[in-house]
Amino acid sequence: MGTTTGEGRRLLRRALKKAAEARPHPNPRVGALVMDPGGQLVGTGVHQGPGSPHAETLALDEAGSRAKGGTLITTLEPCVHSGRTPPCVDRITGAGVAAVVVGADDPDRRVSGRGRAVLEELGIEVAGPLLTEEVEAADPAYFHHRRTGRPRFTLKAAVTLDGWTAARDGTSQWISGPAARRDGHRLRASADGVMVGAGTLRADDPRLTVRLEGARTPQPPAVVVAGRARLPAVRKLWERRPLVIAPQPTDVVPPDLQVIAPGGDGLVDLALAARALGERGLLEVLVEGGPRLAGGMWSAGLIDRGVFYMAARVAGGEGLPVMSGAFSTLSASRQAIIEDVQKVGEDLRIEWRPRRESA
Protein backbone atom coordinates (compact mmCIF):
# COMPACT_ATOMS: atom_id res chain seq x y z
CA MET A 1 0.00 0.00 0.00
CA GLY A 2 1.36 3.38 -0.99
CA THR A 3 0.04 5.10 2.14
CA THR A 4 -0.08 4.30 5.85
CA THR A 5 -3.42 4.17 7.63
CA GLY A 6 -2.73 7.56 9.20
CA GLU A 7 -1.80 9.07 5.86
CA GLY A 8 -4.87 7.48 4.30
CA ARG A 9 -7.13 9.19 6.83
CA ARG A 10 -5.39 12.52 6.27
CA LEU A 11 -5.90 12.26 2.51
CA LEU A 12 -9.52 11.17 2.96
CA ARG A 13 -10.20 14.28 5.05
CA ARG A 14 -8.61 16.35 2.29
CA ALA A 15 -10.94 14.74 -0.25
CA LEU A 16 -13.93 15.28 2.05
CA LYS A 17 -13.08 18.97 2.33
CA LYS A 18 -13.00 19.30 -1.47
CA ALA A 19 -16.42 17.67 -1.75
CA ALA A 20 -18.06 19.72 1.00
CA GLU A 21 -19.57 22.39 -1.28
CA ALA A 22 -20.93 19.98 -3.90
CA ARG A 23 -24.71 19.46 -4.15
CA PRO A 24 -25.02 16.08 -5.89
CA HIS A 25 -28.28 14.77 -4.40
CA PRO A 26 -29.89 12.35 -5.00
CA ASN A 27 -26.35 11.02 -5.59
CA PRO A 28 -23.79 10.93 -2.78
CA ARG A 29 -21.27 13.63 -1.97
CA VAL A 30 -17.90 12.11 -2.97
CA GLY A 31 -14.36 13.42 -3.28
CA ALA A 32 -11.37 11.56 -4.71
CA LEU A 33 -7.61 12.02 -5.02
CA VAL A 34 -4.95 10.15 -7.00
CA MET A 35 -1.40 9.81 -5.73
CA ASP A 36 1.33 8.66 -8.09
CA PRO A 37 3.73 5.84 -7.03
CA GLY A 38 6.00 8.46 -5.48
CA GLY A 39 3.24 9.86 -3.30
CA GLN A 40 2.62 13.06 -5.27
CA LEU A 41 -0.93 14.31 -5.80
CA VAL A 42 -1.69 14.06 -9.51
CA GLY A 43 -5.49 14.12 -9.70
CA THR A 44 -8.57 15.37 -7.84
CA GLY A 45 -12.29 14.96 -8.44
CA VAL A 46 -15.62 15.90 -6.87
CA HIS A 47 -18.95 14.43 -8.01
CA GLN A 48 -21.38 17.22 -8.94
CA GLY A 49 -24.63 15.28 -9.48
CA PRO A 50 -26.65 12.79 -11.55
CA GLY A 51 -25.29 12.29 -15.04
CA SER A 52 -21.94 13.94 -14.31
CA PRO A 53 -18.72 11.91 -13.97
CA HIS A 54 -18.06 10.34 -10.61
CA ALA A 55 -15.28 11.72 -8.44
CA GLU A 56 -13.02 8.72 -9.06
CA THR A 57 -13.30 9.12 -12.83
CA LEU A 58 -12.55 12.84 -12.70
CA ALA A 59 -9.48 12.28 -10.53
CA LEU A 60 -8.18 9.47 -12.76
CA ASP A 61 -8.80 11.52 -15.90
CA GLU A 62 -6.73 14.35 -14.48
CA ALA A 63 -3.96 11.98 -13.42
CA GLY A 64 -3.80 10.19 -16.78
CA SER A 65 -0.89 7.76 -17.09
CA ARG A 66 0.56 9.00 -13.78
CA ALA A 67 -2.11 6.98 -11.95
CA LYS A 68 -0.52 3.66 -12.97
CA GLY A 69 0.94 1.95 -9.92
CA GLY A 70 -0.38 4.72 -7.69
CA THR A 71 -3.13 5.01 -5.08
CA LEU A 72 -6.71 6.21 -5.43
CA ILE A 73 -8.25 7.88 -2.36
CA THR A 74 -12.05 7.97 -2.41
CA THR A 75 -14.39 9.01 0.37
CA LEU A 76 -17.06 6.49 -0.66
CA GLU A 77 -16.73 2.93 -1.91
CA PRO A 78 -16.54 2.83 -5.74
CA CYS A 79 -19.73 1.74 -7.49
CA VAL A 80 -20.11 -1.54 -9.38
CA HIS A 81 -23.36 -0.84 -11.24
CA SER A 82 -24.18 1.03 -14.42
CA GLY A 83 -26.53 4.01 -14.33
CA ARG A 84 -26.06 7.24 -16.23
CA THR A 85 -22.32 6.57 -15.94
CA PRO A 86 -20.26 3.35 -16.16
CA PRO A 87 -19.14 1.49 -13.01
CA CYS A 88 -16.23 3.17 -11.24
CA VAL A 89 -14.50 -0.17 -10.60
CA ASP A 90 -14.02 -0.59 -14.36
CA ARG A 91 -12.39 2.83 -14.66
CA ILE A 92 -10.16 2.13 -11.65
CA THR A 93 -8.91 -1.22 -12.90
CA GLY A 94 -8.38 0.23 -16.38
CA ALA A 95 -6.18 2.99 -14.94
CA GLY A 96 -3.79 0.45 -13.43
CA VAL A 97 -3.77 1.79 -9.88
CA ALA A 98 -2.15 -0.48 -7.34
CA ALA A 99 -4.19 0.46 -4.28
CA VAL A 100 -7.46 2.10 -3.25
CA VAL A 101 -8.20 3.77 0.08
CA VAL A 102 -11.91 3.93 0.95
CA GLY A 103 -13.48 6.27 3.48
CA ALA A 104 -16.83 4.49 3.95
CA ASP A 105 -18.85 1.68 2.42
CA ASP A 106 -21.75 2.77 0.24
CA PRO A 107 -25.09 1.96 1.96
CA ASP A 108 -26.75 1.59 -1.47
CA ARG A 109 -27.73 -2.10 -1.68
CA ARG A 110 -26.36 -2.24 -5.24
CA VAL A 111 -22.88 -1.60 -3.83
CA SER A 112 -22.60 -2.15 -0.06
CA GLY A 113 -19.21 -3.90 0.10
CA ARG A 114 -19.28 -5.28 -3.43
CA GLY A 115 -17.12 -2.46 -4.77
CA ARG A 116 -14.26 -3.30 -2.41
CA ALA A 117 -14.69 -7.02 -3.03
CA VAL A 118 -14.51 -6.65 -6.81
CA LEU A 119 -11.34 -4.56 -6.61
CA GLU A 120 -9.69 -7.09 -4.31
CA GLU A 121 -10.67 -9.96 -6.62
CA LEU A 122 -8.93 -8.11 -9.45
CA GLY A 123 -5.72 -7.86 -7.46
CA ILE A 124 -5.98 -4.26 -6.26
CA GLU A 125 -5.06 -3.68 -2.64
CA VAL A 126 -7.90 -2.05 -0.72
CA ALA A 127 -7.72 -0.28 2.64
CA GLY A 128 -10.82 0.73 4.49
CA PRO A 129 -13.35 1.77 5.32
CA LEU A 130 -11.15 4.12 7.38
CA LEU A 131 -13.37 7.12 8.06
CA THR A 132 -16.97 5.93 8.19
CA GLU A 133 -18.35 8.31 10.83
CA GLU A 134 -16.81 11.41 9.25
CA VAL A 135 -17.94 10.50 5.74
CA GLU A 136 -21.49 9.88 6.94
CA ALA A 137 -21.48 13.13 8.93
CA ALA A 138 -20.55 14.98 5.74
CA ASP A 139 -23.61 13.64 3.90
CA PRO A 140 -26.06 12.27 6.49
CA ALA A 141 -29.15 12.57 4.29
CA TYR A 142 -27.68 10.26 1.63
CA PHE A 143 -26.89 7.52 4.14
CA HIS A 144 -30.32 7.93 5.77
CA HIS A 145 -32.12 7.75 2.43
CA ARG A 146 -30.30 4.65 1.23
CA ARG A 147 -31.00 2.85 4.52
CA THR A 148 -34.64 3.83 4.94
CA GLY A 149 -35.91 4.70 1.44
CA ARG A 150 -37.18 8.07 2.64
CA PRO A 151 -35.75 11.56 3.21
CA ARG A 152 -34.19 12.75 6.41
CA PHE A 153 -36.78 15.17 7.81
CA THR A 154 -35.65 18.20 9.82
CA LEU A 155 -38.30 20.11 11.79
CA LYS A 156 -37.57 23.83 11.86
CA ALA A 157 -39.41 26.18 14.22
CA ALA A 158 -39.07 29.60 15.81
CA VAL A 159 -40.55 29.73 19.33
CA THR A 160 -40.90 32.17 22.18
CA LEU A 161 -39.15 31.48 25.47
CA ASP A 162 -42.45 30.16 26.81
CA GLY A 163 -42.87 27.78 23.90
CA TRP A 164 -45.26 29.31 21.33
CA THR A 165 -44.63 29.50 17.61
CA ALA A 166 -47.41 31.99 16.77
CA ALA A 167 -50.09 34.10 18.42
CA ARG A 168 -53.70 32.91 18.56
CA ASP A 169 -54.53 35.04 15.52
CA GLY A 170 -51.81 33.21 13.57
CA THR A 171 -49.30 36.08 13.48
CA SER A 172 -45.70 34.95 13.76
CA GLN A 173 -43.65 37.51 11.81
CA TRP A 174 -41.29 37.94 13.34
CA ILE A 175 -40.81 35.88 16.50
CA SER A 176 -37.07 35.45 15.92
CA GLY A 177 -34.57 38.17 15.08
CA PRO A 178 -32.78 38.96 11.81
CA ALA A 179 -29.70 36.81 12.52
CA ALA A 180 -31.83 33.76 13.31
CA ARG A 181 -33.91 34.31 10.17
CA ARG A 182 -30.75 34.46 8.05
CA ASP A 183 -29.56 31.25 9.65
CA GLY A 184 -32.94 29.70 8.87
CA HIS A 185 -32.52 30.62 5.22
CA ARG A 186 -29.11 28.94 5.19
CA LEU A 187 -30.81 25.84 6.61
CA ARG A 188 -33.45 26.08 3.86
CA ALA A 189 -30.72 26.44 1.23
CA SER A 190 -29.13 23.16 2.34
CA ALA A 191 -32.36 21.18 1.84
CA ASP A 192 -33.56 19.20 -1.16
CA GLY A 193 -37.14 20.24 -0.41
CA VAL A 194 -39.13 22.52 1.91
CA MET A 195 -42.43 21.18 3.27
CA VAL A 196 -45.44 22.99 4.73
CA GLY A 197 -49.02 22.07 5.47
CA ALA A 198 -52.05 23.53 3.75
CA GLY A 199 -52.84 25.61 6.85
CA THR A 200 -49.55 27.45 6.55
CA LEU A 201 -50.16 27.89 2.83
CA ARG A 202 -53.50 29.56 3.54
CA ALA A 203 -52.42 31.67 6.52
CA ASP A 204 -48.96 32.86 5.43
CA ASP A 205 -49.04 32.63 1.62
CA PRO A 206 -45.30 31.76 1.62
CA ARG A 207 -42.94 31.48 -1.34
CA LEU A 208 -40.55 29.15 0.57
CA THR A 209 -37.58 30.59 -1.29
CA VAL A 210 -34.04 31.14 -0.05
CA ARG A 211 -33.56 34.86 0.36
CA LEU A 212 -29.83 35.23 0.83
CA GLU A 213 -27.29 37.08 -1.25
CA GLY A 214 -25.86 34.65 -3.78
CA ALA A 215 -28.60 32.08 -3.09
CA ARG A 216 -28.27 28.95 -5.15
CA THR A 217 -30.25 28.33 -8.30
CA PRO A 218 -32.53 26.52 -8.68
CA GLN A 219 -34.33 27.07 -5.41
CA PRO A 220 -35.12 23.99 -3.27
CA PRO A 221 -38.44 22.47 -4.40
CA ALA A 222 -41.53 23.19 -2.32
CA VAL A 223 -43.85 20.48 -0.98
CA VAL A 224 -47.39 21.09 0.30
CA VAL A 225 -49.24 18.51 2.40
CA ALA A 226 -52.97 18.97 1.90
CA GLY A 227 -55.90 17.83 4.01
CA ARG A 228 -59.60 17.42 3.43
CA ALA A 229 -60.30 21.09 2.66
CA ARG A 230 -59.97 22.42 -0.85
CA LEU A 231 -56.68 24.18 -1.58
CA PRO A 232 -56.84 27.91 -2.41
CA ALA A 233 -56.75 28.62 -6.13
CA VAL A 234 -54.47 31.66 -5.85
CA ARG A 235 -51.22 31.54 -3.90
CA LYS A 236 -47.70 32.82 -4.56
CA LEU A 237 -46.34 29.31 -4.16
CA TRP A 238 -48.21 28.01 -7.21
CA GLU A 239 -45.81 30.02 -9.38
CA ARG A 240 -43.03 27.69 -8.21
CA ARG A 241 -44.92 24.53 -9.23
CA PRO A 242 -44.73 22.79 -5.83
CA LEU A 243 -45.37 19.12 -5.31
CA VAL A 244 -48.73 18.59 -3.57
CA ILE A 245 -49.29 15.53 -1.41
CA ALA A 246 -53.01 15.00 -0.94
CA PRO A 247 -55.50 12.32 0.15
CA GLN A 248 -57.38 12.73 -3.14
CA PRO A 249 -56.68 14.42 -6.51
CA THR A 250 -56.96 18.19 -6.77
CA ASP A 251 -57.47 20.44 -9.78
CA VAL A 252 -55.32 23.24 -8.34
CA VAL A 253 -52.01 21.83 -9.66
CA PRO A 254 -51.25 19.56 -12.66
CA PRO A 255 -51.48 15.78 -12.13
CA ASP A 256 -47.72 15.32 -12.55
CA LEU A 257 -47.21 17.54 -9.47
CA GLN A 258 -49.47 15.46 -7.24
CA VAL A 259 -48.78 12.52 -4.96
CA ILE A 260 -51.98 10.85 -3.81
CA ALA A 261 -51.44 9.21 -0.42
CA PRO A 262 -54.82 8.55 1.25
CA GLY A 263 -54.78 7.77 4.94
CA GLY A 264 -57.31 7.54 7.73
CA ASP A 265 -59.98 10.19 8.34
CA GLY A 266 -59.48 11.58 4.86
CA LEU A 267 -55.96 12.80 5.65
CA VAL A 268 -52.60 12.00 4.07
CA ASP A 269 -50.74 8.83 4.97
CA LEU A 270 -47.48 10.53 5.92
CA ALA A 271 -45.39 7.34 5.84
CA LEU A 272 -46.58 6.69 2.29
CA ALA A 273 -45.85 10.31 1.40
CA ALA A 274 -42.33 10.01 2.83
CA ARG A 275 -41.57 7.01 0.65
CA ALA A 276 -42.92 8.87 -2.39
CA LEU A 277 -40.58 11.79 -1.71
CA GLY A 278 -37.67 9.37 -1.39
CA GLU A 279 -38.54 7.82 -4.74
CA ARG A 280 -38.48 11.30 -6.27
CA GLY A 281 -34.91 11.81 -5.11
CA LEU A 282 -35.50 14.15 -2.16
CA LEU A 283 -32.95 13.18 0.47
CA GLU A 284 -33.11 16.14 2.86
CA VAL A 285 -36.50 17.75 3.55
CA LEU A 286 -37.05 20.73 5.83
CA VAL A 287 -40.43 20.70 7.59
CA GLU A 288 -41.45 24.31 8.26
CA GLY A 289 -45.04 24.07 9.47
CA GLY A 290 -47.61 24.29 10.66
CA PRO A 291 -48.58 22.64 13.95
CA ARG A 292 -50.83 19.95 12.44
CA LEU A 293 -48.19 18.80 9.95
CA ALA A 294 -45.43 18.88 12.57
CA GLY A 295 -47.57 16.91 15.03
CA GLY A 296 -48.50 14.37 12.40
CA MET A 297 -44.89 13.89 11.31
CA TRP A 298 -43.81 13.48 14.94
CA SER A 299 -46.56 10.97 15.72
CA ALA A 300 -45.60 8.98 12.62
CA GLY A 301 -41.97 8.80 13.80
CA LEU A 302 -40.76 10.73 10.75
CA ILE A 303 -38.91 13.62 12.40
CA ASP A 304 -35.21 12.76 12.38
CA ARG A 305 -33.79 16.08 13.53
CA GLY A 306 -34.92 19.45 14.83
CA VAL A 307 -33.57 22.97 14.59
CA PHE A 308 -35.44 25.33 16.92
CA TYR A 309 -34.78 29.05 17.18
CA MET A 310 -35.70 30.08 20.72
CA ALA A 311 -36.35 33.79 20.48
CA ALA A 312 -35.59 36.39 23.12
CA ARG A 313 -39.32 37.01 23.43
CA VAL A 314 -42.01 35.98 25.90
CA ALA A 315 -45.59 35.49 24.72
CA GLY A 316 -47.09 35.74 28.19
CA GLY A 317 -50.10 33.62 27.31
CA GLU A 318 -51.33 30.78 25.15
CA GLY A 319 -50.67 30.89 21.42
CA LEU A 320 -50.10 28.24 18.76
CA PRO A 321 -47.73 25.34 19.55
CA VAL A 322 -45.02 23.83 17.37
CA MET A 323 -47.06 20.61 17.24
CA SER A 324 -50.79 20.21 17.57
CA GLY A 325 -52.37 17.35 19.49
CA ALA A 326 -52.92 16.49 23.14
CA PHE A 327 -50.03 16.14 25.59
CA SER A 328 -51.98 14.03 28.06
CA THR A 329 -49.25 12.62 30.28
CA LEU A 330 -45.49 12.93 30.66
CA SER A 331 -44.96 9.31 29.68
CA ALA A 332 -46.29 10.17 26.21
CA SER A 333 -43.28 12.42 25.60
CA ARG A 334 -40.01 11.22 24.10
CA GLN A 335 -36.50 12.12 25.09
CA ALA A 336 -34.30 14.07 22.74
CA ILE A 337 -30.55 14.46 22.41
CA ILE A 338 -29.47 18.09 22.23
CA GLU A 339 -26.53 18.12 19.85
CA ASP A 340 -25.73 21.83 19.63
CA VAL A 341 -26.72 25.11 21.24
CA GLN A 342 -25.44 28.45 20.03
CA LYS A 343 -26.43 32.07 20.25
CA VAL A 344 -27.54 33.58 16.94
CA GLY A 345 -27.96 37.32 17.33
CA GLU A 346 -30.24 37.74 20.35
CA ASP A 347 -31.77 34.27 19.99
CA LEU A 348 -30.71 30.68 20.65
CA ARG A 349 -30.35 28.01 17.96
CA ILE A 350 -30.93 24.53 19.38
CA GLU A 351 -30.18 21.49 17.24
CA TRP A 352 -31.57 18.18 18.49
CA ARG A 353 -32.61 14.70 17.47
CA PRO A 354 -35.02 12.18 18.95
CA ARG A 355 -33.43 9.58 21.16
CA ARG A 356 -33.98 6.25 19.45
CA GLU A 357 -34.55 2.99 21.31
CA SER A 358 -31.06 1.81 20.46
CA ALA A 359 -29.38 5.08 21.43
In angstroms, the CA 309 to CA 351 distance is 9
Q: Cα(302)–Cα(155) distance, rounded to whole angstroms?
A: 10
Q: How do beta strands 193-197 and 336-344 pair?
A: unpaired
Buried b (16+ CB within 10 A) or exposed e, 212-249: eeeeeeebbbbbbbbbeeebeeebebbeeebbbbbbee
User: Order of strands across the sheet with 284-289?
Assistant: 258-260, 243-246, 222-225, 193-197, 284-289, 152-159, 305-310, 347-354, 336-344
21 burial type by CB count under 10 A (0-12 exposed, 13-18 middle, 19+ buried) = exposed
Other beta carbons less than 10 A from residue 151's beta carbon: 30
Active site amino acids = 56
Please report which residue ranges of 81-162 form alpha helices under DSSP H: 88-95, 114-121, 132-138, 140-148
Q: How many CA atoms lie within 13 A of 137 on its CB side?
A: 6
CB 172 within 8 A of CB 159: no
